[in-house]
Structure 1
Amino acid sequence: MSRIVQSLTAMKSATRRSVTLGAVAAGIAATTALGASPASAETWHYGSITWYNPSVGVGACGEWHGDNELVAAVSPQMYGSYPNPNNSPVCGKYVVVHAAGGKATWAKIVDRCADCGPYDVDLSPAAFGVLADLGVGRFSTYWADYI
């Protein structure tokens, strides 16, 4: 994980709503090193990060995931509205979330967060725990979604 954090440290200088091309490239390389295979960064966002227990049931993407997996839920605005929610194009994409002190983690989008604001992300306990103690509950930061 330290290799990923080092790669993503270049992104710390990014503003809340924009990022340099070099930081995007670093994020793509870091996400690829984590085992994802993104082609490119889609969009950078600034919002609240919270955590939830994906193990309570099947997510909106139609899969069950455990609390120990690096997974995420995104807002209804990001997820979209489909007759069959399993068909959302965000299902299976990845997010890279940053926190204070140069910490960063990735998570696979597997669910929709009904109570999230437009640019909020709800992480599994495992993913949130990489960034902060679960007792923190919520913090604001920037994140990117990847193909």
Structure 2
Amino acid sequence: MAKAGTSYTGDLTYYAVGLGACGWTNTQDEKIVAVAEAIFDSYNNGNPNANPLCGKYVSITGVDGSQYQAKIVDRCPGCEKADLDLSEDFFNTVTNHGDGRVHGIKWDFM
């Protein structure tokens, strides 16, 4: 399982949420993330809906230095290993309305 406190630094982007790899349908106003497929798939047990990362939380250090928590609900096939893809509203909160891709953001598994 993803060890609490394991840290990454990568880019944040946002995506059009809906039915994710965990089998849940989410909306753009929820505090949710998709982790890079390299991380998500490393926990694959044959059924993405039952991936042990589904429902786990990450803590993201926003551009303002505040900590934001979000639930893992999806995998991001276009992300590098340390990147996260966020719901649009959550992305705007964490990045103070970044331009679509914000570099150098630290996050950890909770």
TM-score, length basis structure 2: 0.85
2:106 and 2:81 mapped to 1: Cα distance? 13
State how 1:102-121 maps to structure 2 within 5 Å. 102-121=65-84
Corresponding residue SS for 2:39:
helix
**Counterpart selection for 1:97 from 60, 77, 83:** 60
**Gapped regions of structure 2 (runs ≥ 5):** none
Structure 1: gaps (5+ residues): 1-39
| Aligned-partner SS, 2:24 | coil
**Contact 1:91-1:110 within 8 A present in 2 as well:** yes
Instruction: List 4+ stretches of structure 1 deviating above 4 A.
Output: none
- Structure 1 or 2: more helix by fraction: 1
1:70 aligns with 2:31: yes
The structure whose Rg is larger is: 1
Structure 1 or 2: more strand by fraction:
2
Pick 1 or 2: higher relative contact order, CA cutoff 8 A, min separation 6: 2
1:122 and 1:145 map into 2 onto residues whose CA distance is: 15
Percentage of pairs with the same residue: 37
Q: Which moves more between the two structures, 116-125 or 134-143?
A: 134-143
Matched letter for residue 79 of structure 1: F
